[in-house]
Amino acid sequence: MTSSLSKRYTYYFLLPAGIVYLVFFIFPTVMSLFFSMTWWSLTDWKFIGFDNFKTFLTEDSLNVGFKNTIIYAVVTCGLKVVLGLLLGVFLCTKLKSVGFIRSMVFFPTLLSTIAVGIAFTMMMHPSQGLFNVTLKAMGIIGPDWLGDTKIALLSVALVDVWKGVGIATVIYIAGIMSIPNDYYEALMIDGGNSFHKFWNIILPLSKPAMNSVIILSFIGGLRTFDLIWAMTKGGPGFSTDLIASIIYKQYQGGFYGLSTAGNVILFIVVSALAFPLYAYLNRKEVDL
């Protein structure tokens, strides 16, 4: 009797968190799965099967988001991984003002994305923006950063990298710092140079840090919305529309069912890409 009570007793502690999780996560998730298969006007709904998904995947103005989102996620993730590693290694050396430079690198992360977006939009103005005025002074005619449909997406991706590389750097620094000194001593005894130090010690042993950076920035890239919205709102035309901004636009248009279907698709895409990636990266990790 007493033992069964004490067994149940422990579960009571899970109850508050469990209820919150159920009400604010599980319930909406199940509801959105349901509403993605309906025609929905917030007050009224009609079951229409997979029509919303079909529309989302076949209409050009909607499925352009898949291509753009993948490009955006790969570019931002790749650049953050490489630049973050270089900055991380650089900021782990014995520099005089290393603390100052570290905070400089991290600083953009603290800014509001919307403010960054507006500021860069102004700097990227084709004729009056800081970038092209500077380029002009050097005799180069700068591109129309956000107006040219071929490079607009990359321009936004670059701003994302500028803003997000600080986090990647900090993760790398933590990873590199945790490498025990023994390895460096062994390298010194064997007579290795600094390239060997980087290639044979830092790179393999900061793998866990790199994996976190890859996963975090890749998922972040897939879900980006705020920066795109602040800078281009998906334009010109549809050239910088990501899945997230398209979902928002469908919601604005009053197509609640369709936009919920988009959310479900985004959920599936993120999981389908992130989980295998995570498993793959974890397999390759080395123990310290």
Partner 1 sequence: MNTFKKGISLIFSIILITGLLTGCNSGGKNANGDGGVTLKLLMDNSTNQDGIRAVADAIEKKYNIKTEISTRPGGTEGDNVVKTRLATGDMDDLVFYNSGSLLQALNPAQNFVDLTNEPYMKDITNTFKKTVTVNKKIYGIPGGSSRVGGWLYNKKVYKKLGLSVPKTWKELMANNKKIKAAGKTAVIGTYKDDWTSQLIYLADNYNVMQKDPEFPKKYTEHKATISNSPAALRSFEKLEEVYKKGYMNKDFLATTYDNGLKMLAEGKGAHYPMLSSALTVLNKNYPDKMKDIGIFPQPGDSKNSNGFTTWMPSAFYINKNGSNVEAAKKWVKFFVSSEGLKIFASKDKPEGPFVVKNAKVPKSSYPAVKEMLPYFDSGKTGLALEFISPVKGPSLPQITTEVGSGNKTAKAGAAAYDKDVEKQAKQLGLSGW
Interface residue list for partner 1 (CB under 8 A): 39, 41-43, 55, 59-61, 125-127, 144, 146-147, 149, 233-239, 241, 249-255, 258
Residue nearer to partner 1 on the CB measure, 198 or 251: 251
Least distance (Å) between residue 242 CB and partner 1? 14
Shortest distance, position 237 Cβ to partner 1, whole Å: 4
In this structure, are residues 204 and 285 in contact, taking their beta carbons and an 8 Å threshold? no
Angle at 217 between CA 270 and CA 159, to 5 degrees: 120
Nearest distance from residue 229's CB to partner 1, in Å? 10
* For residue 204, cis peptide bond before it (omega within 30 degrees of 0): no
Q: Which is nearer to partner 1, 90 or 148 (CB)?
A: 148
By beta-carbon proximity to partner 1, the closer residue of 146 and 213 is 146
Beta-bridged to residue 47, according to DSSP, are 38
Are 147 and 126 within 8 A, CB to CB? yes
Terminal CA-CA length for the chain? 48
Our CB check for partner 1 shows the closer of 63 and 109 to be 63
CB-nearer residue toward partner 1: 48 or 177: 48
Closer by beta carbon to partner 1, 217 or else 232: 232
Question: Rounded to the nearest whole angstrom, what is the least distance from the CB of residue 127 to partner 1 in the complex?
Answer: 5
Nearer to partner 1, 61 or 271 (CB): 61
Residue 65 Cβ vs partner 1, minimum distance, rounded to whole Å: 12
- What backbone torsions phi and psi does residue 39 show, to the nearest 5 degrees? -90, 125
Contact criterion met (CB below 8 Å) for 261 and 273: no
Tell me the closest approach of the beta carbon of residue 19 to partner 1, in angstroms: 13
The CB-of-224 to partner 1 minimum distance in angstroms stands at 18
For the chain, give the number of residues. Answer: 288
